Chain A
Amino acid sequence: MRWLALAALVLLLALPAWLDSYAISVFILIFFYAFLGQAWNILGGYAGQLSAGHAAFVGIGAYASALLSAQAGLTPWLGMLVGGTLSAGLGTLVGYLGFRFGLRGFYFVLLTVAFAEVCRIVTLNTDAVGGALGYYITFTGNPRQFQFQDNRAYYYIALGLMLIATGVVAAMERRRFGAFLIAIREDEQACEALGVNTFRYKMLAMVVSSFLTGVGGTFYAFYLFSLQPNSVFGIPLSVEIIIRPIVGGAGTVLGPILGSFILSPLAEASRIYLGQGGWSGAHLVAYGLLLIAVVLFLPRGAYPALRRLWLRSAAR
């Protein structure tokens, strides 16, 4: 397993040498969404607290670093951390309210959606940050401003982000923190009865998850150069974030990556072939069907299923 991971890593590091610019952009999407999925995975997969409003954290991170760069001249390399911290601040607020008031399951989902929508509407109505027109970043191609002529740079940054998040999740899983989160997911009351401070661990999961997602916002801003409130805070982005870990296997280290490798190319292909002429919603229809199918037939996701197959064939 370790050799396999190492081989995959070397392959991914060497890959840009053979790929054309378009293929690289597809890989960037794969890595980036795997990264966001991994961040969501900490809260949604391990701790079992479904957040359907993670787009809010992307949006805050994106707007924060873009505005800081344009208004205060702060390099996005630091703005990234500021954005992450602000997102973690919002995460703390949502988490504190949600967990302190004991909102579970459906009610927690609603709370996260409501917060994301409030962020979206406020941004949409704040002219100082572009309002409904969106916010645009001037392209200078200056690496210190997180801007690159060559999208291979974005490739390596996205890959790096994905690996960092995966490292965080892997380390977390091996420690008590991860075990506590899984215990909370499986049976919160039993967990409390055993004396675990579930509130504290859920909060911690929320903070780590929202911080990472906020950092991702900077990448989003300086890769796309335009921020639209409806897309950066919108429900569709939250769905994109959620669906990869769920398809790949929520609560597993490799699930979000696997999910992203399956879904991101699919989404890209459907956008190319179905994106024109009135078919713009088609790939979300496909997501919906996929979500239904996964819930019904593969409730634990693709990674655990593949792993079972692998173990079975190894045992034979």
Chain B
Amino acid sequence: MAVGLTLIFGVMRVVNFAHGDMMVWGMYLAWLLATRAGIDPYVGFVVCAAALFVLGYLVQRVLVDRIVDAPHEMQILLMLGVALVLENSALVAFGPDPQRVRSPLRAATVWLGPVFVDVARLVTFALAMLLTLALYLFLTRTDLGRTMRAAADNLYGARVIGADVRRVYAVAFGIGAACVGAAGALVSPILPFQPAGGLGLSVASFNIVIIGGMGSLPGAFLGGLLVSVAESLGAVFLSPSMKELVSFSLLILILLVRPAGLFGRTVT
């Protein structure tokens, strides 16, 4: 399950402090849709993705765009500000208690060979795979997707060939946010969530992206697998509350040993 979810994380390249908090908002939107309008999160994730796309697009266009040329530190502080606003507005709006979305699929279970799996996990996994595939096709087959990769590869070159880099960035940020929103909605029936969970999710996604190597799709897949296995092992061998410790320690280790990731190209 975690693999499918983390795949989506991995593809997003924008390193973004507000990442996990956006995901939490995705979860809460799904929760709102499910409780107020009675829409199942497996349908509602489209709405969540759309809403988060708008949010991401606006954040990039209104905020980040103004300081693209400013020192790196300024961007970090800016995203920290965005993360604070998102996390705590969720806290104000929804309160600190963990929530979980109820989905009818959650109750159903199937035997998959020798393993007993509930349908909700399967559907989440399948949809996550589908979304990832769609994203991959978008990035490699469409003009906008290609421009995006070009801008990431060589900003100057992209400008020379006449790409509207600002718009491309905004769309990329929007799509990234939309992926996170969709991911949030998809896991909302499986994982309980609360406003304070944003940071943990951000760290998990950094772990995966960094382990896998920035922008490498197979890397993201394997990175997701590695991180989730390590965390589960940590939970078994230490104690459930030490699970977080494993992911943070992993993060430190990766940062030091292999900042370019296991599968990424060397960053110059």
A positions within 8 Å CB-CB of B: 48, 50, 52, 97, 101, 103-107, 109-111, 113-115, 117-118, 121-122, 124-125, 235, 239, 246, 278-282, 284-285, 287-292, 295-296, 299
**Are A288 and B245 within 8 A (Cβ)?**
no
**Are B248 and A281 within 8 A (Cβ)?**
no
Q: Which residue of A lies closest to B66 (CB)?
A: A296
A124 to B244, alpha carbons, bound, how many Å?
11
**Contact pick for B259, options A103, A122, A281, CB 8 Å:** A103
User: Could you say which residues of chain B place their CB within 8 Å of the CB of A114?
Assistant: 203, 248-249, 251-252, 255
Known contacts A106-B72, A235-B199, A296-B66; A118 and B245 CB within 8 A of each other: yes
Determine if B43 is an interface residue (Cβ-Cβ < 8 Å): no
Determine if B88 is an interface residue (Cβ-Cβ < 8 Å): yes
User: Could you say which residues of chain A place their CB within 8 Å of the CB of B80?
Assistant: 52, 239, 288, 291
**Are B252 and A50 within 8 A (Cβ)?**
no
**Contact pick for B73, options A50, A113, A287, CB 8 Å:** A50
Q: How far is the CB of B240 from chain A (nearest CB, A)?
A: 10
**Are B256 and A101 within 8 A (Cβ)?**
yes
**Are B195 and A117 within 8 A (Cβ)?**
no
**Are A285 and B85 within 8 A (Cβ)?**
yes
14 contacts between A and B (CB under 8 A): A50-B76, A101-B256, A103-B255, A106-B76, A121-B241, A278-B92, A279-B92, A284-B88, A285-B88, A288-B81, A288-B85, A288-B86, A296-B78, A299-B67
Among all A-B residue pairs, the 3 with the closest Cβ atoms: A288-B84, A281-B88, A281-B91
Interface centre among B72, B73, B78 (most CB of A within 10 A): B73
**Are A291 and B95 within 8 A (Cβ)?**
no
A20 to B242, alpha carbons, bound, how many Å?
45
Q: A-B pairs with CB below 8 Å: how many?
A: 120
Q: Which residue of A lies closest to B70 (CB)?
A: A299
Task: Convert B214-250 into 0s and 1s, putting 1 for each residue whose CB lies closer than 8 angstroms to a CB of A.
Answer: 0000000000000000000000000101101100110
User: Could you say which residues of chain A place their CB within 8 Å of the CB of B88?
Assistant: 281-282, 284-285, 288
**Contact pick for B245, options A52, A122, A239, CB 8 Å:** A122
**Contact pick for A281, options B74, B76, B92, B252, CB 8 Å:** B92
Determine if B82 is an interface residue (Cβ-Cβ < 8 Å): yes
A280 to B244, alpha carbons, bound, how many Å?
25
B positions within 8 Å CB-CB of A: 15, 63, 66-67, 70, 72-74, 76-78, 80-92, 95-96, 195, 199, 203, 206, 239, 241-242, 244-245, 248-249, 251-252, 255-256, 259
Q: Which residue of A lies closest to B199 (CB)?
A: A235
Known contacts A106-B15, A278-B92, A279-B92; A291 and B78 CB within 8 A of each other: yes
Q: Which residue of B lies closest to A94 (CB)?
A: B252
Q: How far is the CB of A285 from chain B (nearest CB, A)?
A: 4
Q: How far is the CB of B86 from chain A (nearest CB, A)?
A: 8
Q: How far is the CB of B106 from chain A (nearest CB, A)?
A: 28
A113 to B202, alpha carbons, bound, how many Å?
12
**Are A117 and B244 within 8 A (Cβ)?**
yes
Q: How far is the CB of A4 from chain B (nearest CB, A)?
A: 30
Known contacts A281-B91, A292-B63; A107 and B255 CB within 8 A of each other: yes
A125 to B248, alpha carbons, bound, how many Å?
15
Q: How far is the CB of B249 from chain A (nearest CB, A)?
A: 6
**Are B82 and A288 within 8 A (Cβ)?**
yes
A289 to B10, alpha carbons, bound, how many Å?
28
A104 to B71, alpha carbons, bound, how many Å?
12
Q: How far is the CB of B12 from chain A (nearest CB, A)?
A: 15
Known contacts A103-B259, A291-B78; A285 and B92 CB within 8 A of each other: yes
A113 to B252, alpha carbons, bound, how many Å?
10
A295 to B241, alpha carbons, bound, how many Å?
36
